[in-house]
Amino acid sequence: MQLSLSLQYNSFKQANLKRTDVILLQLELAHQTGTGLKPNSKNYNMLVKALQEKCSLTPFQFYAIVGLLLSDASLSLNASKKAGRIKLQQTIRHNVFIEHLINELLPEWCLLTTAKIVCISRCDMLSFQTMTLPVFASLFAFLYNKTNTKIVPGNIERYLHPITLAYWFCGDGGKADYKGHSKAIGLYTQGFDHESVKNLQEALINRYGWTVTLVADKGKNQWWIRIKDFDSFITKVGPYIHPSMLYKLPTARSNKSRYGKMSAIIYNQVCGSFFQLCKYNVNKALLGEALKKPVDFLKCPGLITCK
């Protein structure tokens, strides 16, 4: 049975919020209006106040957001520059991944509505964004310069957790095993200047010991990153790649391959295993009945501990 709104709101004053408490409050506030929460409305401002006072990003969310911002996601500040919002557009074929971001990864930071479909160059895209909140403003200072251009700071190495790389890959990565080359991973960096891409290359080499090369796009002043260590990437990053994005990886090696240990059997056991372990299930009803028996997929023994 759901708590009444007054009981939920009183609990905010006593202790840090649980993720499911925030989601329950949002659903209750939206139900009161009958038309959903609208920015700057009384109920919306109540939700924002609760988030500002009692909520913080979990470690998993932080690393995932950094990964999304290294890919195609953008972050913008409000007029006062004290709060920001994250926005991401993906092709409509990635609707399951967008649902995952809204309903599972960042539900307390988003309005629980379906992603908006927008048409860009005759191609249907899904547009997703968080609410505008102070928690995202510090990320702007971290990954943007004074001219609002996305950059990669020199200390990025400490933030390139496997979770970060997984969401970077999901947002803007793919296979790089084109003809004449061995299996490899491509991470695309079109939004960054050459100095930022070099920072990423050096950070990946220093942290993981991988063979990382920069590849220039023909006819463009742009580069992308090629990681040759396919087996190591799958072992370290593969578990955190969302199941709907596994198709972007190179295919598994033959079980008799002499090039590495990442056989088809091991490959299938590793890729997406974090979500399999957590009994991953996309709730297309926007949580609904699942809130009565919450399953926090971020709390998995042996992987990462979050609030």
In tens, the pLDDT along 117-137 reads 665 555 677 888 888 888 888
H runs (alpha helix) in the chain: 5-12, 19-33, 42-54, 59-70, 95-100, 137-143, 162-172, 194-208, 230-237, 264-270, 273-277
Confidence of residue 207 (pLDDT cuts 50, 70, 90): very high
Backbone dihedral angles phi then psi of residue 129, each to the nearest 5 degrees: -150, 155
**pLDDT of amino acid 296:** 38
Q: What is the mean pLDDT of residues 211-221?
A: 75
- Contact status, residue 303 vs residue 287, Cβ threshold 8 Å: no
d(CA 139, CA 136): 5
pTM (predicted TM-score): 0.80
Identify the CATH homologous superfamily for domain 156-277.
Homing endonucleases (3.10.28.10)
Express each pLDDT in 160-184 by its tens digit: 999 999 999 999 998 887 665 677 8
Backbone dihedral angles phi then psi of residue 215, each to the nearest 5 degrees: -120, 125
**pLDDT of amino acid 10:** 36
H runs (alpha helix) in 42-156: 42-54, 59-70, 95-100, 137-143
Q: Give the torsion sign (CA, 132, 167, 307, 96).
A: positive
Confidence of residue 298 (pLDDT cuts 50, 70, 90): very low
Q: What is the mean pLDDT of residues 182-202?
A: 87
CATH 3.10.28.10 intervals, the chain: 59-143, 156-277
Q: What is the mean pLDDT of residues 32-59?
A: 76
Q: Which residues have CB under 8 Å from 71's CB, separation 6+?
A: 167, 168, 169, 170, 171, 172, 173, 188
Check residues 265 and 305 and name the one with the higher pLDDT. Answer: 265
**pLDDT of amino acid 254:** 66
Domain 59-143 is in which class?
A: alpha beta
